Amino acid sequence: MATVAKPTAPTRQIGTPPMVPRIAPREDLNPFRIAQIQFDMAAEFLKLDLGLRQILRTPKRVLEVSIPTKMDNGQVKVLTGYRVQHNVARGPAKGGVRFHPNLTLDEMKALAAGMTWKTATVNVPFGGAQGGVICDSKRMSKGELERITRRYASEILPLIGPYLDIPAPDVYTDAQTMAWMMDTYAMTVGHAAHGSVTGKPSSVGGSNGREEAMARGLVAVVEEACKLKKIALRGATVAIQGFGHSGATVAQVFAEKKAKIIALSDTRGGVTNSRGIDPIKAIRYKERSGTVVGMPGATRTTNDELLTMKCDILVPAALENVITLNNAEAIKARIVAEAANGPTTPHADEILARKGITVLPDILANAGGVTVSYFEWVQNQQGLIWDAEEVNARLQKTIVRAFHEMVETMRKHHVPPRAGAMILAVGRVAEATLVRGLFP
């Protein structure tokens, strides 16, 4: 084997000026390349055959559509949208629809792959998909959003359906968006089709418990991790980066468990109070002012400061790449629970592992959402309505089982949680692919 020369330690003579601090090498933040790095690592542990690796690391289908939309001022704007289906070996494709001005195709591919591993981690019989539209939904009227959503749904119609690919809410989309998508689908096919999307309003087949499902799943996973790390959740301090629907429901569920929310943030900045912030008050304040910044009884802070704050549990609940080479060394939380998809880069992951920080990975920590999406789809397909207690009990059972399966895999391979979950998930999809065989 070729030997690699060890870098020589820089020497500094007495009397010479201090060395210029080394600038951290720029990290590759392309979400799809990051997803592939995470996949390759799991494939290596599983010693997967090269052909199988190529099947699993490539999206099955990618559709780009243009969405001509009449804006309120009478002008037509042509937006771009995507739907990516990463893998359907274990069941119909499943995943969110995101509206965001900076959205890219590589991000869609990464999120679609993430959904494949997420549904496999919690063992629900779905594959993985993701879609989105490049648009600044915050600056659009309800009418504009409805027209964009309906035209987008109609453009991706050949790919979606209860047995093909089932969309759900994601960043800046919600139950209303899903109602419009379902209606567009149902009007086109000519019959009711409740199982064509999940995360719908309950009046049109949405499941009880779906709105808080991600948060309940996340807190259940944190609770299990706390038991292993011997941290009491009651009184534990929690900092949440991102106070949209995800961050706000996570805050409420942590508060139910008597954990103490010490910091919150949104795109405009953050607030902190070491004695605790009442999430309900923060939600009400944000409804009125559009941000948590300035809420009474809390001091102003920034997103950057929040991430490196001393706390027991840090919850990134917004977008990708917020914990990177730039700030990983400064993170002081004991547990990072990923409510967002892809908030931690592979380099940051390594640093956090070295520091003994437990990173509960997105594909398990936020899988409560898709788990209850699966329950919603099951109820729709069978014409059933389960009450919230039943949904929550099933969610708890599914997520806690997945957590322990992840821990078992971590122990077997001596790896941190993300690698454990990935090995578990990739192993399941690989097995399904092999047993089905290659068509034709």
Using the minimum distance from each CB to ligand GLU, give the nearer residue, 116 or 272: 116
Q: What is the helix (H) or strand (E) element at residue 128, kind and residue range?
A: strand 128-133
Tell me whether residue 270 or residue 368 sits nearer to ligand GLU (CB atom): 368
Peptide bond into 440 cis (omega under 30): yes
Q: Give dist(CA 100, CA 285) in Å, integer.
A: 24
Binding to ligand GLU (CB under 6 A) within 196-215 occurs at 198-199
The alpha-helical segments, DSSP class H, found in 321-416 are 346-354, 362-365, 368-382, 388-413
Specify whether the CB–CB gap between 292 and 312 falls below 8 A.
no
Residue 95 as a binder of ligand GLU (CB under 6 A): the answer is yes
Name the token pair of 228: 């292993």
Give least dist CB 150 to ligand GLU, A. 20
Residues in the chain: 440
The token pair at 320 is 């990708």
Selected range binding ligand GLU among 19-27, 58-66, 88-96, 422-430, rule: CB under 6 A: 88-96
Nearer to ligand GLU, 272 or 398 (CB): 398
CA–CA–CA angle 336, 288, 97 (5° rounding):
50
Q: CA distances (Å), 386 to each of 253, 372, 377, 393, 397, in order?
A: 21, 11, 12, 11, 16
Q: What is the C-alpha R_g of the chain?
A: 22
Position 121 contacts ligand GLU (CB under 6 A):
no
Q: Give the span between the Cα atoms of 140 and 143, in whole angstroms.
A: 8
Q: CB neighbours of 432 closer than 8 A, spacing ≥ 6?
A: 89, 90
Q: Give the H or E element holding residue 299.
A: strand 299-301
Choose, by CB under 6 A, the member of 53, 86, 94, 334 that binds ligand GLU: 94
For 288, the 3-state DSSP assignment is helix
CA 251 to chain centre: 16
Given the rule CB under 6 A, which of 27-35, 91-99, 137-145, 382-390 is the region that contacts ligand GLU? 91-99
The correct pick among 81, 91, 96, 343 for binding ligand GLU (CB under 6 A) is 96
96 or 206: whose CB is closer to ligand GLU? Answer: 96
d(CA 411, CA 406): 9
Residue span 17-36 as binding mask against ligand GLU, x where in contact by CB under 6 A, dash where not: --------------------
Closest residue to ligand GLU using C-beta atoms: 96
Of the residues 121, 184, 272, 341, which one makes contact with ligand GLU according to CB under 6 A:
341
- We find the least distance from the C-beta atom of residue 404 to ligand GLU, in angstroms, to be 21
166 versus 293: smaller Cβ distance to ligand GLU: 166
Choices 89-97, 134-142, 186-194, 216-224; region in contact with ligand GLU by CB under 6 A: 89-97
Q: What is the Cα–Cα distance from 183 to 435, expressed in whole angstroms?
A: 37
- Residue closer to ligand GLU by CB (options 277, 360) is 360
Least distance to ligand GLU, CB of residue 355, Å: 27
Instruction: Please name the residue ranges forming H helices in 156-244.
Output: 175-189, 213-229
Give the interface segment with ligand GLU, choosing from 141-149, 304-312, 345-353, 369-377 (CB under 6 A): 369-377
DSSP assignments along 38-98, one per residue: HHHHHHHHTT--HHHHHHHHS-SEEEEEEEEEE-TTS-EEEEEEEEEEEE-TTSSEEEEEE
Judged by CB under 6 A, which of 344, 373, 380, 398 binds ligand GLU? 373
Least separation in angstroms between residue 353's CB and ligand GLU is 24
- Number of residues engaging ligand GLU in binding (CB under 6 A): 12
Binding string to ligand GLU for residues 168 to 187, with x set by CB under 6 A, is what? x-x-----------------
- When the beta carbons of 124 and 333 are compared against ligand GLU, the nearer one is 124
Comparison of 96 and 416: residue with beta carbon closer to ligand GLU: 96
**301 touches ligand GLU by CB under 6 A:** no
Q: Which residues bind ligand GLU (CB under 6 A)?
A: 94-96, 168, 170, 198-199, 341, 366, 369-370, 373
